[in-house]
Amino acid sequence: MSKVTPDLFEVLNDPKAEAVLAKLYKAALKQGWAMVFHFLPKAFKLLGKGIDWKTENEKFYDDKYIPIVPAQGTFLYIQARALNAKCILEFGTSYGISTIYLAKAAKDNGGKVITTEYLTHKASIAGKNLEEAGLSGYVEIREGDARETLKNLDVELDFVLLDGWPDLVFPVFKLIEPKLKKGAVIAVDDVEGFKPSMQDYLNYVRNPENGYISTTIKPHKGMELTVKVK
């Protein structure tokens, strides 16, 4: 995405949420050069076998949006609507861009989103962004480490977006796995760029003996889409 235009968000049919998304994506675009310079030395890995998250400096991301792109948000919104997902879980809120798409689906489906973010300032700003979008009533933000905040969930999950740090995707998935309904869909962002850190997850969900069907789809950069079938 090189430019933010209103048509990117019109699928939501919600002027308030669309205006907040436009504002947030514009702010994210301003971080574009910092992201380019960060990834330039690793471009071969990023486009080849992928980057091992262990080699990343997490501090660099403290103020970064690193959002899903609008095409992915549109895809997630439509997928959650198609499933009539009432209970949606997200790992990795950041400033709330993806959460807005999920929250609008939850609102339209008569459900709610649980999302978790361990950086206090991001969780707090995400809360304000959701409020401005008119969607805070459909979201519970759990501030803290997902490995703690998602323990003992007392809900059954229809739809999940795993978009926290790549090396935690599999541990967080295993934590929430007992709560997945049959037919639940799990989307994981960036499975190609950070493949070495998500290979454990990919091996698990692509092994039919574990009860899933799974493949990488590309509403933009590679996103793994998994359905619990058993």
Positions that interact with ligand SAM (CB under 6 A): 66-68, 92, 94, 97-98, 116-119, 122, 145-146, 163-165, 168
**Smaller CB separation from ligand SAM, 127 or 164:** 164
Q: How far is the CB of 67 from ligand SAM (least distance, A)?
A: 3
Q: How far is the CB of 44 from ligand SAM (least distance, A)?
A: 22
Q: Using alpha carbons only, what angle is made at residue 138 by residues 171 and 160, rounded to the nearest 5 degrees?
A: 25
Q: How far is the CB of 97 from ligand SAM (least distance, A)?
A: 3
Q: Using alpha carbons only, what angle is made at residue 108 by residues 84 and 10, rounded to the nearest 5 degrees?
A: 110
**Smaller CB separation from ligand SAM, 19 or 66:** 66
Q: How far is the CB of 209 from ligand SAM (least distance, A)?
A: 28
Residue 30 CA: distances (Å) to CA of 22, 27, 42, 44 = 13, 5, 21, 24
**Smaller CB separation from ligand SAM, 167 or 211:** 167
Q: How far is the CB of 101 from ligand SAM (least distance, A)?
A: 8
Q: How many CA atoms lie within 13 A of 146 on its CB side?
A: 26
**Smaller CB separation from ligand SAM, 23 or 210:** 23
**Smaller CB separation from ligand SAM, 94 or 197:** 94
